[in-house]
Structure 1
Amino acid sequence: MSTSSARLPGGNWALGDLTVTRFGYGAMQLAGPGVMGPPADRDAARAVLRAAVEAGVTHIDTSDAYGPRVTNELIREALHPYPPSLRIVTKVGATRDGHGGWPTARRPEDLRRQVHENLASLGLDVLDVVNLRLGTAEGPQAGSLAEAFETLVELREQGLIRHLGVSNATVEQVVEARSIAPIVCVQNMYNLAHRHDDALVDTLAGQGVAYVPFFPLGGFTPLQSSTLSGVAARRGVTPMAVALAWLLHRSPNILLIPGTSSAAHLRENIAGAGLSLSPEDLAELDQIGR
């Protein structure tokens, strides 16, 4: 599959020795309602993935827990054999139950199984980046990650993983992970209105580590702010465009992975993220999450 030569908003970033576009794509929304089961239109889901790659996206975020197995299977159906520039980032540490819950699964045997399941469903011999998902569906939880993270380090040493990251992590867990082995990214909830990780974003930028916000547009509850709406109205764009553009302005190590099940919405997100915000816009927006 060929990719567009058009430059995506934000340029590129290095995940270790792998170069990715700062504007990426999150595949979670390709699964069915509640991130369970297949999509209503499987052809449309595959078309979104192809549209992302054709637009130049080289960073796709997924997990075998989405569906479960659904998004990985769609990625393989739509894009395999993968373009040489494409990097697929997955995560392990949680599974799904029959009620749509996300029970933790971080015992060494759980993690080994999940890594092999991701390899099989994606049709890969080695995974580019694997994030260890910590905490619960309610958010990060304090506690040592050593046993789980060391299991992933072993799998990396076996050649099954290129690079490691952590997700849904506390600052202390990020520090602990980096004391065990290098990480290339941290994937936490963060957006214009939820900025608890401001200091962590800046620290990681100085260390050359990517920060990848999940729910960059608020997730299941879209961002609501009169200030955001006011800036958007003044610029003649949508609030979501401003929110995406703000993230790329916020720090050079922020990588975007907004999800959508619509190719048209994907193109809107790309255009929105490319919005140039003035110093006045940024000063006004900076007050929202403070």
Structure 2
Amino acid sequence: MTLRNASGTFDIGGELTVHRLGFGAMRITGDDVLGDPDDVQNAKRVLQTAVNLGVDFIDTADSYGPGTSERLIAEALAPYPEDLVVATKGGLLRNRDGDWLTHGDPDYLRNAHLCSLDRLRTDCIDLYQYHRPDPDVDFERSVTALAELKDEGVIGHVGLSNVSVEQLETARDIVEIATVQNRYNLGNRENEAVLDVCESNEIGFIPWFPLGAGDLGDEKAAVLTDVADANDASEYQVALAWLLQRSPVVLPIPGTSSIPHLRENVAASHLELTDEEMRRLGA
């Protein structure tokens, strides 16, 4: 089953047209993929299958691996199909303990971007996102560094991640913001206000952890199960369908290291929830 046009498309930055169901490559690191004895090859097969199914938007970050996800994407898919948009992120460091450390220094971001260009085997990154604001670095300086890279032609579009409404508006005064990637799903809607700003300004909103149902509680969990049963679908598929119908600017990027799970996620683009089901889920 491939992606269907009825699930809609979105123009990132007004010019990069993608199907609204993308693929998040956080788990594409070649490590322990379902116990496969050849994890790296399996990871590449997942990426190739995603593209064959019609996925044309892949999101990753230099901190996934770290570095491994970007490298595997290039090994599996480069030279990239003309219609494939590959996005990455910079601004988080990983240490040996697995901690995620913010690092928004402009010089560091420039170097991180240069390394991503090399790993992704490209001379311009379609969408480069500031992964997380660094409390120890002036936010405007970090965003300005990305604006300068865009002016230099080595970034197609600038995105943000894990930002507030105030930070989004501050960044928009510096450079055109194409997307925002914040946590958002059925069980966690703390970034509703950010989504509203994105919708009003035709900015793509990429919900990370899109399949998270959170602690819905017994009553709300029962609603999700009921809607899934009524549509002969899994609860995860309903969660994705809800996101796709929540707003035309929402670009879910479910990630997986399993081809069967990938096919299940793609099938969610064929699921149409009724107005009443959307109301019940959104309550």
Distance 1:47 1:174 in 2: 36
Unaligned regions of 5+ residues in structure 2, if any?
none
- Determine the structure 2 residue equivalent to 1:186: 180
Distance 1:30 1:66 in 2: 8
> How many residue pairs align between the two structures?
277
Task: Give, in angstroms, the shift of residue 9 of structure 1.
Answer: 5.5
Task: Give, in angstroms, the shift of residue 7 of structure 1.
Answer: 2.6
Unaligned regions of 5+ residues in structure 1, if any?
none
Distance 1:117 1:142, change over 3 A: closer
Task: Give, in angstroms, the shift of residue 223 of structure 1.
Answer: 7.2
In 2, are the aligned partners of 1:31 and 1:67 still within 8 Å (CA)?
A: yes
Distance 2:24 2:276 in 1: 30
Distance 2:136 2:274 in 1: 38
**One-letter amino acid matched to 1:103:** L
- Determine the structure 2 residue equivalent to 1:87: 85
1:110 aligns to 2:108 (yes or no): yes
Task: Give, in angstroms, the shift of residue 233 of structure 1.
Answer: 2.0
- Determine the structure 1 residue equivalent to 2:123: 125
When normalised by structure 1's length, the TM-score is 0.89
Which one of 17, 27, 49 corresponds to residue 29 of structure 1? 27
Distance 1:148 1:201, change over 3 A: same
How does 1:156-175 map onto structure 2 within 5 Å?
A: 156-175=150-169
- Determine the structure 2 residue equivalent to 1:12: 9
How does 1:146-157 map onto structure 2 within 5 Å?
A: 146-157=140-151
Distance 1:222 1:63 in 2: 28
1:61-86 superposed Cα distances (whole Å, 9 cap, x missing partner): 01121101111111011101100111
* Structure 1 segments (4+ residues) deviating >6 Å: 221-224
In 1, are the aligned partners of 2:3 and 2:267 still within 8 Å (CA)?
A: no
1:137-186 superposed Cα distances (whole Å, 9 cap, x missing partner): xxxx7985101000111111111101101001111100101011101000
**One-letter amino acid matched to 1:207:** N
Task: Give, in angstroms, the shift of residue 6 of structure 1.
Answer: 5.6
**One-letter amino acid matched to 1:211:** F
Distance 2:137 2:176 in 1: 19
**One-letter amino acid matched to 1:49:** L
Provide the alpha-carbon RMSD of the alignment.
2.5
**One-letter amino acid matched to 1:164:** V
1:238 aligns to 2:238 (yes or no): no
- Determine the structure 1 residue equivalent to 2:195: 201
Which one of 141, 145, 150 corresponds to residue 139 of structure 2? 145
Distance 2:30 2:41 in 1: 13
Distance 1:55 1:126, change over 3 A: same
In 2, are the aligned partners of 1:9 and 1:22 still within 8 Å (CA)?
A: no
In 1, are the aligned partners of 2:57 and 2:87 still within 8 Å (CA)?
A: yes
- Determine the structure 2 residue equivalent to 1:270: 266
1:93-145 superposed Cα distances (whole Å, 9 cap, x missing partner): 11110101111111111101100010000000011011112247xxxx79851
1:282 aligns to 2:273 (yes or no): no
